[in-house]
Homo-oligomer: A and B are copies of this chain.
Amino acid sequence: MSHTTFEIPTQGQGLYEFTDTVARWVAGEGPMEAALTLIVQHTSASLLIQENADSEVRTDLKAYFSRLVPPSTDPSMGYLTHTYEGPDDMPAHIKAAMLPITLTIPVISGRMALGTWQGLYLFEHRDRPRLRRVMALLR
């Protein structure tokens, strides 16, 4: 059993892949069978397992969720009360409620049991650059 923390720098809204970073750490712990739990320690970012083949998928995911949860300055969001931390703040909390903050992934023989086209992403919901902490537990 072991744990670590990954720090992922972000440059505005979008999906940031960190599959290889996690895979290297998991492999370094030995060829075990285990459960890997990840948690993003923030309330305005998410963790996604998504297609890693075509970058258009990430572009479209970002576009879809930006429309489903527009900035608080959008007329359709006029009912929001938590607006003083910027127009991207409350929508970021909403997206962080709707999309996963924790993931658990089986590890078999020291490798994450992901499908062929699955990659691991941090989905940043804020506009400004951030350094995001993701804790990992392997046991």
- What does the 1/0 interface line of A79-123 toward B look like (CB < 8 Å)? 111100000001001101111111111101000011111100000
The answer to whether A63 has its CB under 8 Å from any CB of chain B is: yes
Smallest CB-CB A-B distances: 10 pairs: A41-B115, A106-B137, A56-B82, A43-B51, A56-B81, A104-B104, A113-B135, A37-B104, A60-B80, A49-B101
Residues of A within 8 A of B (CB): 1, 3, 33-35, 37, 39-43, 48-51, 54, 56-57, 59-61, 63-65, 67-69, 79-82, 90, 93-94, 96-106, 108, 113-118, 133, 135-137, 139
Copies of this chain per assembly = 3
Of B59, B82, B118, the contact of A57 (CB 8 Å cutoff): B82
